Amino acid sequence: MMLIMVSMLLSLTISILLMTVCSIISKKSKNNHEKMTPFECGFDPKSSSRMPFSMQFFMVAIIFLIFDVEIVIILPTIKIMQMSEINMWFMVTTTFILILLLGLYHEWKNGILEWKN
């Protein structure tokens, strides 16, 4: 029991010592000009570091992620089919796919999938 207590105390002491040494060594100035400037392959950027963001690209990426997650949800239904009644499995799978198709229709109707406005 004493060995465990000594080991815990030693590890705690070493941890606190290392944290203290690291915080002392890593004191940095808050407004270092070189670190605040954008970095492009070692050269100063000639234009603004902010680029315009395409909202259509963002929407397509979000839709892709949503459908990707839905495919991950659909894949285990094959294994579940072996363990459950076929009628119940068919109803659940059909309902899930119908919800996906209704969501796709809603996105299509609202013009989210169109690239040009």
Whether the Cβ atoms of residue 80 and residue 89 lie closer than 8 Å to each other: yes
- pLDDT-wise least confident of 28-42, 64-78, 102-116: 28-42
70-95 pLDDT, tens digit each: 888 888 888 888 888 888 888 988 99
Encode burial over 30-53: b for 16+ CB neighbours within 10 A, e otherwise. eeeeeeeeeeeeeeeeeeeeeeee
pLDDT in tens, 36-56: 666 656 555 566 656 666 777
> For position 12, what pLDDT does the model report?
94
Q: Which of 12-16, 18-22, 67-71, 84-88 has the highest mean pLDDT?
A: 12-16
CA distance 1 to 78: 54
Q: With b meaning 16 or more CB within 10 Å and e meaning fewer, what string describes 98-115? A: eebeeeeeeeeeeeeeee
Bigger pLDDT: 67 vs 115: 67
Dihedral angle over CA of 80, 83, 89, 93, nearest 10: 0
Which residues, including other chains, have CB under 8 Å from residue 89's CB and lie 6 or more apart? Answer: 77, 80, 81
Domain range summary for the chain, segments of one domain joined by +: 56-109
